[in-house]
Every structure is written in C-alpha cells, then in structure tokens.
Structure 1
Amino acid sequence: MKSYFQIIFSALLVTSCSVQKKQTQEQPVSTTKPIENNSQFFSTIEKKSTFDAVKINSKIDARTGSFIPTLDAVIYVENGQKVWMNLTAVILQAARGVATPEGIKGYYKLDKTYIDSDFGYLNKLLNVNFIDYNALQNLLLGKTFIPVSEKNYNLTPDISGFILKSKETQKITENGKTTEYNIKLGYDQDLNLNHVLLTNPANNNQLEITYSNRIILNNESFPKNVKIIIKANKTDEILIENTKFDFSRMETTYSVPANYTKTEIK
C-alpha cells in the first residue's frame, strides 16, 4: 500500500516555472568561475507562476521493487490552494489524493485504506524535512523549492545553462528538526529548473528530480517528462509523462468511502 501512496504524493511533483528570454553564448563559458552580480538570476528563479489552474493528464510508471501497472492520472493544480490527483489502473480507479496548506489526504481503493496527515508523511516518503504546501507547490511547478541565497550558493554557467550549488552543507530546520543537505540545482538557458539533487551527508540519502521536454503554454513552461529518484535503503523511481494540459477549472471531489480504515503514520 505504501508504494501506491508514494506514487500519489511523489507524483504530484510535476509542472514548471515561468519562461525568460533565451540568452545565447557566443564564447565558451567557464564552468567553475562563479557569476558576479547575480541578483537578477535569483529574482527570476523565485518568480511565482501566474496561472489560475491547470489540469494535466499523465501516465505514471513506478519502479519500487514491486509490480505496479502503468497508471493513468489526472493532476489538477489550483494555484496556491490545492493539488488534486486521481489515479486509474486498467480503467479502474486505484487511488485519489489532495494536498492543501493544511496537509495531505488520500485513499487507496484496492485495500480500502486512507491517510489524513500533515506534511510529515510526504517528507518521510521523500527523505527530507522541509516540504510544506508552499514548498510542494514550488516543487510541483518546477520552481526552486529550497531556500537559496547569493550568500550561501555559488552560481556558475555550464554548457546547458547554469548550476547553483551550496558552498557548504546547508542546515534546514523544520518543526524543530534540523537536517543538513548538500544541494545542487541545474537551470537551462531560459532559467527553467531542469535538475535537482539533494544529498544528506549523514546517511547519503538522495532526492533527485529531472524535468525535461518542456512545452510553452499560456506563457508558462511545463515539462512533459519528470523523473523522480528517491535513494535511501533502496532506490525507487517514478517516471511521469504529461500528455495533455488544460487551463480550465474543474470539480475536485474528495471524500473517503465508507468502511475504509485509516493508516496511521509512523
């Protein structure tokens, strides 16, 4: 059952960030020398998305060590308010979940179980400690979801765009828990986030996310492919292919069916 809920809430990590005019490089660039006067870079990557709502049709493949069929998903993001998701396996509904600033909820139809939790559950699945709703939505939108600053990070150009790397191990405290991370973020020439790598030096756990094959719709850049790799005692992979985008609002019903059993979060 954990594998399905891991799909529900990890697969919420899917859209992207606003687009800037592409800059060409006429000369080879250094991949080691930090860029000076980079305040414009930071203001751009922190720019919020402006869409009202987006509905995304997706196909999800999970590699968790157990057989899980390819899932059809409808993912609906209402900017700043909710992320709703419905999963179907072989035309039958498998699971449904919703995230709001108050927390996350989801039910799994096949074994008639459900969760109702704060974001601690999602943090545990992703092996991090800092995901709240705002961080989740930024991560969903392919935007910078980790606290970054010019003081604590080096920005360098590379052949495909830019690399933002923590100068030293970063300490992030959330709900009284402090965890250290080495952080590396990759951006393309348009300053779209295309790669995230977080490493916990205490145990070598990693969270890696790759966004690719972007498409421009309503002046926003969305990835058609997302790859999530969660490395801990074992490695889980979630591959998401986004096949259709729709910017109209939709009804997002959620209620736990009768006789379902609550799964306690440990």
Structure 2
Amino acid sequence: MKKWIPLLLATLVVISCKTKKNAMQNASENDSIIVENSDSKNPIDAGKNISDRLSFYENIYIHPKFENIKISSKITADNIRVSPLDATIYIESDKKIWSNINFLFFNAARAIITPEGIKAVDKYNKNYIDSDFEYLNNLLNINFIDYKTLEKILTGRTFLAVSDRNSRITKNMEGYQLASIVNQKIVTNDLEREYKINMRYSNDYDLIYVKLQDVKTDDAVEIVYDQWESFENNLRLPQSVKIIIKGSKTSQILLENTKFGFNKMETPYSVPANYKKIEIK
C-alpha cells in the first residue's frame, strides 16, 4: 500500500495491534481504558493524601462535554516527502471521526471512523480500506485503540484509567506526574500486553506527555501535547500533538492544529466503483 492511507489513519489516531473488538472495561462516563495490576497478589498503596489524589483524578478524567469539533490542521510526518499536508478533522462526539487530507490543491485521502470500524479512501492510488481497529493498532504496535480511545487522543484527554493503588503521583513547579509503579496489564480479546506508563500534566491539569513502554519488547508510544487553547464552557484543546512510535524503527507524526470550530458539518464519504479494496492482513 502507498503512504496516503497509513498517514491518514495515523493522523486520526493519531495512529496504531490486534483488537477486533476491545474487551476492556470502561471507566466512568469518560470510557477510559482500564489498566490492571499485573501482580494482583501484591497490591501497592502508592499514596497517602487521598483527598489530593481524588481531586487530581477528578481534574484529569472529567472534562467539559462537546458535540462537534472541527480542526484545521497541518500534518508533518517523517515517512513522507510531501509534508506538511493540509487536513480537516471533524469529531462528532461518540459517533464519528471524519478526516480529509489535501496536498496542494489535490484531495489525496478521506476517512471516516465510527465505533464499528474504519473506512478510508486513497484517491491518489485509487484504493480503499474497510476494516476494524486491527489496522490502526498494528501501525502503533499496541493493543488498545478503539473508537473512544482515538477520540480522546485527538482531543488531549486522558485515555488510561490507572489504578489508584498501582500509581504514584508527584508534584513539582511544572505540574504533576503520574507513573505506574508496577507493570500495567491491558487485555483485549486475543492479546495481553504489559506496559510501564508515565503521564505528565501541567498545573492546570492539561495533559502534556504520555508514554507507554512495552515491558517485553522495545515497542513504545509517546504522545506530546503543547499550546493548549481555551474555549467556551471551560473546554481546552491542544494546538500541537506529536506522536512518536518506537520499535525496530522510530517514526513520528506532528499535528499542528491551526483553527478550531464547533458547528456541525457534512461528512461526505464514498468509494468510486473502479477503486481497489486493500485487504488488511
């Protein structure tokens, strides 16, 4: 396959192993992924200031709701020579993520992602995909991307619900750091993996950095958020999202979000009759 569809889907994850349907539990109304202690026989009490910890968790997990977000973005990736690309990403909360990528004046690719799966059309190479989330997870060498997780990654929301007993929270002048103190297990229908998790937040609880390191391999994913912008109803969104994928090779993609809108918009998607379907293996 050429590079347009992988780039488009990587953007929407902002990228990603095997999960035909995630079997992970959801945490509260935010549907964050639950990660569990890999050694449940030895729970660790990592904190004493319970009231402070509860306030911290409330701020990182509970956010103002939104119905629609339209993001105008420039995408730079180290695996294509034609970047930056112009992209429009539209999110209809809990329903769909739609994206359109242009190169100069040419509409290069389009995708629509729903809780049921992923559809994307590559107009440059005249092919398309229609898949579950296995493809996205394989791009990131991880096993936890589903629709809601993807929506949270794009909007800078905490997408991992780390157990209170198995994490350490520290505070310094720059903000907060949450780190797993035992390996965290994430289980899907057909795959179980263990990660070390590190997340950093500003003093205002904006998510700044996430790292998931597979404890058995060199695979790791890092996400860096920057330049947070405030909107009505206390909604905050990042203007910069960088995803770094580490493994046998290291690659990264940068989204520079230049404009946000909140009106509902049309999300056209169709596949011309002469386009070839790419089978995901």
Residue type at the aligned position of 1:123: N
- TM-score normalized by the length of structure 2: 0.84
CA spacing shift, 1:259–1:35, aligned 2, 3 Å: farther
Output the aligned Cα RMSD.
Answer: 1.6
In the alignment, what sits opposite 2:105? 91
Counterparts of 1:176 and 1:87, CA distance in 2: 33
| Structure 2: 5+ residue stretches without partners | 15-45
Q: Any residues of structure 2 matched to 1:1-266 within 5 Å, and which?
A: 1=1, 3-13=3-13, 36-37=49-50, 38-64=53-79, 66-218=80-232, 219-266=234-281
Alignment check: 8 A CA contact 2:175 2:202 kept: yes
Counterparts of 1:192 and 1:40, CA distance in 2: 14
Alpha-carbon deviation of 1:176?
2.5
Counterparts of 2:149 and 2:251, CA distance in 1: 21
SS at match of 2:273: coil
Residue type at the aligned position of 1:87: I
Alpha-carbon deviation of 1:2?
5.2
Counterparts of 1:158 and 1:126, CA distance in 2: 31
Counterparts of 1:88 and 1:202, CA distance in 2: 39
In the alignment, what sits opposite 1:20? none
**Greater helix fraction, Structure 1 or Structure 2:** 2
Alpha-carbon deviation of 1:3?
3.2
Alpha-carbon deviation of 1:265?
1.1
SS at match of 2:7: helix
| Structure 1: 5+ residue stretches without partners | 15-32
Counterparts of 2:2 and 2:163, CA distance in 1: 35
Alignment check: 8 A CA contact 2:72 2:88 kept: yes
Counterparts of 1:41 and 1:71, CA distance in 2: 37
Counterparts of 1:130 and 1:58, CA distance in 2: 25
Counterparts of 1:181 and 1:2, CA distance in 2: 31
CA spacing shift, 1:131–1:49, aligned 2, 3 Å: farther
SS at match of 2:145: coil
Counterparts of 1:101 and 1:88, CA distance in 2: 25
Counterparts of 1:48 and 1:197, CA distance in 2: 21
Q: Deviations over 1:72-129 (max 9, x none)?
A: 0010011111110000001100100111110111011111111111111111111110
Residue type at the aligned position of 2:179: K
Alignment check: 8 A CA contact 2:149 2:159 kept: yes
In the alignment, what sits opposite 1:27? none
CA spacing shift, 1:2–1:196, aligned 2, 3 Å: farther
SS at match of 2:205: coil
Alignment check: 8 A CA contact 2:218 2:248 kept: no
SS at match of 2:150: helix
Residue type at the aligned position of 1:242: N
Q: Deviations over 1:185-205 (max 9, x none)?
A: 111111111101111121111
Counterparts of 2:191 and 2:85, CA distance in 1: 35
Count of residue correspondences:
247
Q: Post-superposition, which runs of at least 4 consecutive aligned residues in structure 1 deviate over 3 A? A: none
SS at match of 1:214: strand
SS at match of 1:43: helix
- TM-score normalized by the length of structure 1: 0.88
Counterparts of 1:34 and 1:234, CA distance in 2: 37
